[in-house]
Amino acid sequence: MAERAADDDPRPLVSWIWRGYLKRHLPVILAALVLMTLEGGMLGALSYMIEPMFDEVFVSGNKAALGWVAGGIFAVFLARALSGFGQRVLMARVGQKVAAALQGDMVAHMLTLDSQWFQKTPPGNLIERVRGDTTAASTIWSTVLAAAGRDVVALISLFAVALSIDWLWTLIAVAGAPLLVLPIIGLQRWVRRTARSARAAAAAIATRLDEIFHGVTTIKLNRMESRESGRFADTLDGFVSAQIRSQIGQAGIPALIDIVAGIGFFGVLTYGGLQIIDGQKTVGEFMSFFTAMALVFEPLRRIGNVSGAWQQALASLERLYDVFDARPTILPPARPRPLPCPPQQADITLRDVHMAYEDTPVLNGLSLTAKAGQVTALVGASGAGKSTVFNLLARLVEPQSGQITVGGLPIHDMALPDLRGLFSVVTQDAMLFDETLRDNILLGRTDITETRLNEVLQAAHIADFLPNLPNGLDSPAGPRGSSLSGGQRQRVAIARALLRDAPILLLDEATSALDAKSERVVQDALDRLSTGRTTLVIAHRLATVRNADQIVVMDKGRVAEQGTHDELLARGGLYSGLYKLQFATTD
């Protein structure tokens, strides 16, 4: 990727979007440019036809000229209409394809980035970049470059007509143009700065909406409707203010052009009018010139508007560029190594592992071993680092120091797909997609037979509630599985893990949010799932891990104690205290 663009130098951004996305459409772009040239040139042809219309037809009364003048003007309008239609269709095609390619590439690139990158960036901000900022490419092509190209050709043809009539009139008409240079440069910078603020404000709106829609139950239960409405209104006010500031800058450019145009017309009318009165110029010449210059200032005004759109597009491209410029910090090994033993026989070992999020330590010299084929439970207070262990095992995050091995092989020496293929994960909040129940279980796999699928449905207790769904496995799960209960979503997650058939099972509070009935059903499915697998369990409810082969008690990022349930109770340490606190009863 090109080097990061300087704030006031758009060339790296333009080069990036051209080489990466526009250049592949070069034949269509060239065809559109030909049509743009024809459309823009027709304005010059129209102004040229004004002179014979006045001098030959109206003043001289030449009836023979009436036919070819009228026919010529009709031909000009017809050519302009057809060329304009064609180039707009081509521009729209390229613009939409470029925007779609940008969106696809951006999502694909985002999925290569680390989980921590997503945690630092609000979801609304990401959505706005994918949906809102990607339109910048379409804007640059279909609005900015195309309009500028068409209007530049129009200006050239119109000035050619004006100069052919009287070069001095032309000079008088544009005498005030140099006065526009500095104000327009200043306004362009203003528009670009305010456009950045507007895009950031739009992202804030998307983030706020995401929070409101996903937190609507919490908002209602806590009677926060007025508070959230007010917060959204404040966010919206920030966006509106930024948009208004940007629009003021954009409106200033055509306004300045109109003022200079008025000065030019005043000078030409005063000087040229005297020449017509004295018989030095004809009415047809003046009307042809006047038409050309009147048409000149309209493309100039549009270019002034294009200038503002250009600055807005550059602001969006900068935000896109920043995303594409982000690089994953979790990198695959240069020479991946296979496991030295079958994964079912591989112990998992962490040695003196230190881990921090930003400047906050989470693990402080953690060392533990999970034996192959056994159940190892991680317990401890919130913030002890239990979930971080799972993230480290799958290399979703990286430790600052220490070593993690599977079967004696450092996980940094394994290919990422191979490493992550070792694990099946069932979490407290199973993530379901807005697809059918079948799609959510299979997750794109086409190698699963109906017989195997039915076995999994029985083992995960999904078959128990299938008759209650309108279309069985083909029933929609809804956004984030909203059509299913918490227990049903957990069973879907277990079915996924059964189909995955990975040798290592990671259970993160898999039953903590369920009612007693659902917990019994899900726990039975989990017991079947963990049979014969190396299993690591995170649990706050100690009753769920009493039968674990090993219980590791974590405190402040370290192993405080470890052993079986009975051994830890006998020691009377931290685990014993937690257990008594949870199961304290009164006679």
Rounded Cα gap, residues 285 and 462, in angstroms: 86
CA nearest 554: which of 339, 367, 422? 367
User: What pLDDT was estimated at residue 290?
Assistant: 81
260 and 117 together in one domain: no
CATH number, domain with residue 409: 3.40.50.300
Question: Cβ distance 279 to 39 under 8 Å?
Answer: no
pLDDT at 587: 35
- 567 contacts: CB under 8 Å, gap ≥ 6: none
- CB-count burial class (<10 Å; 0-12, 13-18, 19+) for 551: buried
pLDDT at 514: 63
For residue 2, is it within any domain?
A: no
- In this prediction, residues 212-216 reach a mean pLDDT of 71
Give the number of C-alpha atoms closer than 13 A to the C-alpha of residue 357, restricted to the C-beta side.
Answer: 17
Q: Say if 197 falls within a structural domain.
A: yes
401-406 and 348-357 strand pairing: antiparallel
Same domain, 126 and 202: no
In this structure, are strands 375-379 and 534-538 parallel, antiparallel, or unpaired? Answer: parallel
**What is the tens place of the pLDDT at every residue in 30-63?**
898 889 888 888 888 888 888 788 777 777 778 7
Is residue 563 within 8 Å of 550, Cβ to Cβ?
yes
The secondary structure of 243-293, three-state, reads HHHHHHHHHHHHHHHHHHHHHHHHHHHHHHHHHHHCCCCCHHHHHHHHHHH
The answer to whether residue 22 sits within a structural domain is yes
Q: Identify whether 284 is part of a domain.
A: no
Sign of the CA dihedral running 577, 579, 582, 583: negative
Average pLDDT over all residues of the chain: 82
Residue scoring higher pLDDT (267 or 368)? 368
Say if 172 falls within a structural domain: no
Contact call for residues 235 and 209 (beta carbons, < 8 A): no
561, pLDDT greater than 60: yes
In a shared domain, residues 254 and 393:
no
At 276, list the tokens: 């017509």
Model pLDDT, residue 3: 47
Distances (CA, A) of 364 to 146, 164, 175, 359: 59, 83, 74, 13
- Please compute the mean of the pLDDT values over residues 83-110 and round it to a whole number: 87
DSSP per-residue codes, 64-121: HHHHHHHHHHHHHHHHHHHHHHHHHHHHHHHHHHHHHHHHHHHHHHHTTS-HHHHHHS
CA-CA distance, 318 to 142, in Å (whole number)?
A: 19
Tell whether 287 is covered by a domain: no
Residue-wise pLDDT tens digits, 313-368: 787 888 888 889 989 888 888 899 988 778 778 889 999 999 988 778 899 999 99
What global pTM score does this model have?
0.72
pLDDT in tens, 163-199: 888 888 878 877 777 777 677 777 777 877 787 787 7
Q: Are residues 425 and 573 in the same domain?
A: yes
Confidence grade of residue 584 (pLDDT, cut at 50, 70, 90): low
Range(s) of the domain holding residue 56: 9-165+298-327
Q: Is residue 405 very low, low, confident or very high in pLDDT (cuts 50, 70, 90)?
A: very high
Say yes or no to pLDDT of 249 above 80. Answer: no
Please write the tens of the pLDDT for every residue from 288-318.
Answer: 888 887 777 777 767 766 766 777 778 788 8
**Domain identity same for 539 and 390:** yes
Task: Give the long-range contacts of residues 320-326, CB within 8 A, separation 24 or more.
Answer: 320/102, 320/106, 320/129, 320/133, 320/134, 320/136, 321/1, 321/4, 321/5, 321/13, 321/16, 323/106, 323/109, 323/110, 323/129, 324/1, 324/105, 324/106, 324/109, 325/1, 325/4, 326/109, 326/113, 326/117
Are 131 and 193 found together in one domain? no
Pairwise pLDDT comparison (257 vs 91), residue with the higher score: 91
- Please give the pLDDT value at position 2: 45
* Between residues 317 and 219, the one the model is more confident about: 317
Pair 186, 221 in one domain = yes
Determine, yes or no, domain membership for 463. yes
User: Is there a single domain that holds both residue 186 and residue 210?
Assistant: yes
Regarding whether 216 and 83 lie in a shared domain, the answer is no
* Residue 27: band (very low, low, confident or very high) from pLDDT cuts 50, 70, 90: very high
Residue 438 has which token pair?
């079948």
Same domain for 367 and 310? no
Question: Cβ distance 154 to 87 under 8 Å?
Answer: no
* Claim to verify: residue 224 and residue 120 sit in the same structural domain: no
Q: Are residues 309 and 380 in the same domain?
A: no
In a domain, 464, yes or no: yes
Span 109-158, pLDDT tens digits: 888 888 888 878 777 778 878 887 887 767 766 667 666 778 888 888 88
Domain count along the chain: 3
User: What pLDDT sits at residue 305?
Assistant: 66
Mean per-residue pLDDT, 445-462: 87
Q: Across residues 483-498, what is the average pLDDT?
A: 86
